[in-house]
Chains A and B, each alone.
Chain A
Amino acid sequence: MSAQENKPKERVGVYVCHCGTNIAGVVNVGEVSKWASDNMKDEGVVISRDYKFMCSSLGQELIQKDIKEQKLTRVVVGACSPHLHERTFRNACKGAGLNPYLCELVSIREQDSWVHTDKIAATEKAKAIISGGVARVIHHEALEPLHVPIHPATLIVGGGIAGIQAALEIADAGFPVYLVEREPSIGGHMAQFDKTFPTLDCSACILTPKMVDVGNHKNITMLTYSEVQKVDGYVGNFAVTIKKRARYVKTEDCTGCGICWEKCPKKVIDDKFEAGIGYRKAVYTPFPQAVPKYPVIDDINCTYFVKGTCKACEKFCPTNAIDFTQKDEIMTVEVGNIILATGWDLFDARRVPNYGYGRLANVFTNMEFERMSNSAGPTGGNIVLRDGKTPPKSVGIVHCVGSRDKNYNNYCSAICCMQSLKFAHLVHEKTGATVYNFYIDIRTPAKGYDEFYQRIIEEGTLFVRGKVAEVTDAARNPGEEGKLIIQVEDTLVGKQRRIPVDMVILSAGLEPRSDSKALAKTFGISCSADGWFIERHPKLDPVATMTEGVYIAGCVQGPKDIPASVAQGAAAAARILGKIQQKEIALEPVRATIHEEQCSGCRICNTMCPFNAILFHEDKMVSEVNPALCQGCGTCVAACPAGAITGTGFSNEQILSQIDGLLLLTLDKKETVPSGS
């Protein structure tokens, strides 16, 4: 207020965090703090402290006390990444009456102590980073977050168990949900399974009631056989373009009686739901309990679409529900939040040629086995060899196919151990065959899982520890004749073994959807190098993403089992319900503003904006930013030749001062060291 001319006009407090030894182990925190208070007085630093854990309540109170007692007008915290604790420190400042945007958190952990080993260099770098923060914070302005209303509807992409759970939670709370599913029915992979570990309850028995609830719920709009094409807008106000593929069935007339698929003459191998071991018709529902019950006509295989004649389904349909003239429909829905629960793809076991899948008839994948074991599946629940009738006398189950393998995927697929144990049980129960499990490590960490493992051991399943080298039909002795031989190094015995079996089941791992990168781009979120979607925080925020309003649930975030997927679906729903209840959301006030008096009307910025947030006033010949549409990228700010655009939070003054601050020490050094010596 009453600042003297030559005195710095802001009172800055600097706080350097030890983060236990995370920072203090490498950076001399005390020295940095002392350096700031000794050398940055001219910049306005009035107090500088270091503390064990700045983010703790005591650390925050320290800052708050100083704000009040020292009348600080700016705060710089040198600690972890702003992506972790920016909000924490801003809130601390707010609590002490300082506008939260007058606080700057600079990272001396992720970008300094954790990545450097040279203690002196790291300490010098920390000083530079702090100095940059101080120089920058002086130019910060007090800002108020922008408040935008939240549309109460939610879009859920993916109708597997995670999406179903999320949809029911939100719909039961009384808010509208659009559930988009690419396949003709919701249910996802869980609908294909036979039994679920570790309780062995039938998958359909626990899933289908939930599917029916979704189908009947007044708050849920199911959009099956549909895909999201485009997402516009931002948290609270997304406009989502969805393509509804033509079913060629009028859903308002169809009763789901099933006469059409009974009469359809065209048999097609069902490589989706039946994993390639069963057939469906060209007009079909993937499975009897499908929700919705209406079939679709597969226009790639349908005789009418291929040859121009047939229409058997149309002739026999008692309600005239078949409509060959239907076209794909494009619709737009408005939603406030989005949950992505698009699940996973099965690792293609053909990629491991030495296991013989696709070449050796009696090598099966886990999905094929699930369908075979399912009483509603193609074999009626009988476990038989590829000939369709012979039950196996011995079965080998190979773990970690495509997982924990540098040649394919490094990660553990999380479900294969339990799934393989389940298979062992089912084979035992249904055929009495001898079962071998070939494993690298058995991982049964969740509730009831290890007990299940013990039970399978007691049932007499044989365990061989070792990664299978090869599955072959080349017999070396009469005992191996006509069998599949599993070549493996038994690492517990320390010997190579050849184990002849009738059937091999490959526990293929989980992979991200083949189109996950495109999906991530559509929704503006990031994928890990493997292709799983990245959560906001790996431990503390597993269902949110870095994009406000977009949440993830289930295997789309990483391999997980049914309980974990359900938990994430419910968690994402809870997060969104909390947001909807608030009715509006506070957005970061990082926005561009055009100063009318400086704008020359050149319109360079108009074409720069990907969000069409800049409009041009023909009458005044100046451009203006619509703050509701502006996302704050700042490209227009950098492009304006007249310097007429300010980017709040990232203004030219702030960045240029930060550059100066970061280089402060460098200049000092360069001045003291005479050039040329």
Chain B
Amino acid sequence: MTEETKPFEPVIIGFTCNWCSYRAADMAGIARMKYAPNVRLIRLMCSGRLDPTFVFKAIAGGADAVLVSGCHPGDCHYSTQNYKAMRRYHLMKRVLTQMGVEPGRLKLLWASAAEGQIFANEINKFVEEVRALGPLNWNQAGAEIPVEGAVEEVKV
């Protein structure tokens, strides 16, 4: 039926920091830049606030992918906290892979308050990437999915 012909519409939860990336989203809005409606944003004060639990909770709760977004390295409103987000991002990617989730379902995006266009473009790109991955498939075993650059560590 029509349901089947419709392309898969992923649901993505996005975390933005209050200072750069949420403002990039605002900027995209003010400039009426159009992008895919699949991302729902949650504002944190800083990407450093991102508890890995949030990402796993979103995936567990039915999101097909998660976007983590903050200020560019060096531009963090709280000086260096986005580096902590970046470290956690790499950690989470690895954990997700071990859990059987494709690492492509987690994306890190740096966007300054002026980069509405980049924010919009990257969301469009991400939505297409996740669309290509298809709905989250929990049945897949962790080992089947290769981890870029971290294979040795994961093998044990």
- B80 on the A face (CB < 8 A): yes
- B46 on the A face (CB < 8 A): yes
**Contact between A670 and B19, CB atoms less than 8 A apart:** no
Q: Report the 3 A-B pairs with minimum CB-CB distance, sorted nearest first.
A: A110-B29, A634-B49, A635-B48
A residues less than 8 Å from B32 (CB atoms): 114-115
- B13 on the A face (CB < 8 A): yes
**Contact between A610 and B62, CB atoms less than 8 A apart:** no
Q: Specify which of A81, A528, A637 is in contact with B51 (CB 8 Å cutoff).
A: A637
Give Cα A590 to B23, complex, Å: 19
Measuring CB to CB, which residues of chain A are less than 8 angstroms from any residue of chain B?
A: 81-83, 107, 109-112, 114-118, 121-122, 124-125, 128-129, 132, 521, 524, 526-529, 534, 546-547, 590, 608, 610-611, 631-635, 637-639, 647, 649-650, 652, 655-656, 658-660, 662-663, 666-667, 670, 673
Q: List 19 A-B contacts (CB under 8 A).
A: A81-B26, A110-B28, A110-B30, A112-B37, A115-B33, A115-B120, A547-B77, A608-B84, A611-B78, A633-B48, A639-B84, A650-B44, A650-B49, A655-B54, A662-B13, A662-B40, A663-B58, A667-B62, A670-B62
Chain A nearest Cβ from B15, distance in angstroms: 9
Measuring CB to CB, which residues of chain B are less than 8 angstroms from any residue of chain A?
A: 3, 9, 11, 13, 19-20, 22-23, 25-26, 28-30, 32-37, 40-46, 48-54, 57-58, 61-63, 74-75, 77-81, 84, 88, 112-115, 120
Give Cα A127 to B114, complex, Å: 28
**Contact between A527 and B13, CB atoms less than 8 A apart:** no
Q: A524-B77, A638-B84 are in contact. List 11 more A-B contacts (CB 8 A).
A: A528-B114, A529-B112, A529-B115, A546-B19, A608-B81, A633-B77, A647-B45, A650-B45, A655-B54, A666-B63, A667-B61
Q: Specify which of B13, B30, B49, B113 is in contact with A638 (CB 8 Å cutoff).
A: B49
Give Cα A650 to B9, complex, Å: 29
**Contact between A115 and B29, CB atoms less than 8 A apart:** yes
A residues less than 8 Å from B11 (CB atoms): 663, 666
Given contacts A634-B44, A663-B13, A667-B61, contact A652 B29 (CB under 8 A): no
Chain B nearest Cβ from A633, distance in angstroms: 4
**Contact between A114 and B29, CB atoms less than 8 A apart:** yes
**Contact between B62 and A122, CB atoms less than 8 A apart:** no
**Contact between B44 and A655, CB atoms less than 8 A apart:** yes
Q: Specify which of B28, B34, B43, B53 is in contact with A117 (CB 8 Å cutoff).
A: B34
Give Cα A508 to B36, complex, Å: 41
**Contact between A633 and B49, CB atoms less than 8 A apart:** yes
B residues less than 8 Å from A111 (CB atoms): 25-26, 29, 41
**Contact between A83 and B48, CB atoms less than 8 A apart:** no
Give Cα A422 to B42, complex, Å: 52
Give Cα A121 to B127, complex, Å: 14
B residues less than 8 Å from A129 (CB atoms): 40
